[in-house]
Chain A
Amino acid sequence: MASVHVVKPGLLTTVQDRGRWGFQALGVSVAGPMDPVSHRIANAMAGNAVDAAALEVTLVGPELVFDDERIVAVAGAEFEITIDRDPVDATGCFVVPTGAALRFGRRVRGTRAYIAVAGGIDTPPVLGSRATHLPSAMGGFGGRALTVGDRLSCGAARPRPHAAAHARLAGVPHSVPDGRATLRILPGPQSDRFAAGALEALQSAPYRIASSSNRMGFRLSGPPLAHTRGADVISDATPLGVVQVPASGQPILLMADRQTSGGYPKIATVITADIGLAGQLGPGDTIAFAVCSPGEAMTALIGQEQHLMSVEAGRR
């Protein structure tokens, strides 16, 4: 079986598919890509199915060597990338020859890039998914981030015209934010647990992402949010993108590796179409929250889906 050899792992590189759905009732977190849009684009460009596992790169990218000639696609955060010291398109699709080193250099913008290898990363599925959940050490490559010397099996690539691999994908409009983003939110599920004006305060000034943030969530600092009936609720489910507020009044935005449940009031939830944008932010970056309507959330999601489907159709 062909494999990819990890020469340098980068800061935090994990195997991720679309996530381990269906087991949250048993305490099993979903995990999956922080930026699901870029993950899907990378898989589409590599000719993979949407549920193939790819590598999520964080801030500092890896150096990888492949056992056989492979089509590889990179999407999401932009890095200077070389194959045996020859520069290649920062985000795009290319052939990596047998034994050549794919190296990530300087980061240009964004936080997380996705490396899709034609055929997908073929680690053993756990509860139906290859996604790595770091806190419970489940899935991916031994439940952990990649490290020097790891060898990851790759699946069999789908047969496809070779020339297509060199084509630069035209007009990927998923723009990667550069240190700040506006995330649209819908109030709830527990906005009634907050003082009048809290939702306005949340939108009144940007929040900075603290250095202790990770794949579980972003600890934010900015205008404090006041509760009405205390900062404890009876533990309930914690959706992706929910903004929960502990007693400090400083919100936490829950992301891919979030636990399945929690006991803090939840003032608002980031719309699904903007989750990918959030996933491109990291420590020190800022978030402006803006309430939108359910209709706007749906329109944004449909627009994003149409674009993704056109990308997938173009690469089939």
Chain B
Amino acid sequence: MSAFRIVAAGDSALIVEFEERIDPEVNARAVALAERLHVDPVAGVRDVVPTYRSVAVYFDPLRTAHDALMARLEREAAAPLPAARPAHDVLRLPVCYGGEFGPDLAAVAGFGGISETAAIDLHTKNTYHVFMLGFAPGLAYLGIVDERIAAPRRDTPRVRVPRGSVGIAGGQTGVYPSETPGGWQIIGRTPLLPFDLTRPNPFLMRAGDAVRFDAIDRVEFDRLEREVR
């Protein structure tokens, strides 16, 4: 059993905090807790939000039995982890690296003192864990990036990062689900849409998922883009 504590955020949220570190095992506890509250909801709870190492439980204080919710959270937080997901659950995201899609690939390679090809190899060799979604609809925080390409954010954020851009910020990597300003190092672009309201399931990734990137060329990118959009 791992350590946890439950703290209040005002009168309508409780936060279950696990160990204070970015670690897939700690995160798995948060995701599992959120999943159990999703499967078997507590009356009055309005939203359950797993993040790197905690779970926020938002509730309507007038319609929630506070002590019962607290007891449930303590029980669930202490429960053993479910078995790891099988390998076939890994989501594969095709990425066209470098060029106009990846203006920071050279800088990321330079950070590690390696070639661009080697940087791509390092980005595609890891299976990443989706720690959480946040900041914008469908934006997933993936990790952990090989330290040789774990370049920090750009000094000056870009005013406009195109949808589908794949970025690195330190140990994190991720895909911009919509065009926004952003400071991550952009190394490529995927034709898949992390967030698309026209799909039955608008969200490509959820916290706890496993993701791998596959390098594709521009021809394949264009073909896939036509297919999915």
Contact = CB atoms under 8 A, between A and B. Distances in A.
Do the two chains belong together in a single complex? yes
| Residue with the highest number of chain B CB atoms closer than 10 Å, among A30, A240, A261, A301 | A261
B47 A301 contact: no
Contacts of B39: none
B53 A239 contact: no
Contacts of B197: 126-127
B49 A237 contact: yes
Contact of A24 (B11, B49, B178, B202): B49
A260 B207 contact: no
Nearest to A185: B10
A271 B9 CA distance: 9
B99 interface: no
B138 to A, nearest CB: 6
Interface in B124-169: 132-141
Contact of B47 (A24, A294, A298): A24
A297 B61 CA distance: 10
A226 interface: no
B56 interface: yes
Contacts of A266: 9
Contacts of A305: 62
Interface stretch (B12-20, B74-82, B86-94): B12-20
Interface residues of B, number: 43
A138 B12 CA distance: 25
A241 B10 contact: yes
B11 A237 contact: no
A51 to B, nearest CB: 13
B136 A237 contact: no
B20 A234 contact: yes
B8 interface: yes
Interface in B37-53: 46-53
A302 B133 CA distance: 34
Nearest to B11: A297
Contact of A27 (B8, B9, B11, B137): B137
Contacts of A271: 10-11
A244 to B, nearest CB: 11
A28 B136 CA distance: 6
15 contacts: A21-B46, A24-B58, A26-B206, A27-B138, A127-B202, A136-B136, A136-B137, A186-B8, A190-B7, A234-B21, A236-B54, A237-B49, A237-B51, A240-B12, A297-B11
Q: Rank and list the top 4 A-B pairs by shortest CB-CB distance, nearest first.
A: A269-B10, A237-B56, A261-B134, A189-B9
Interface of B: 7-13, 15, 20-22, 34, 46-54, 56, 58, 61-62, 132-141, 177-178, 195, 197, 202-203, 206-207
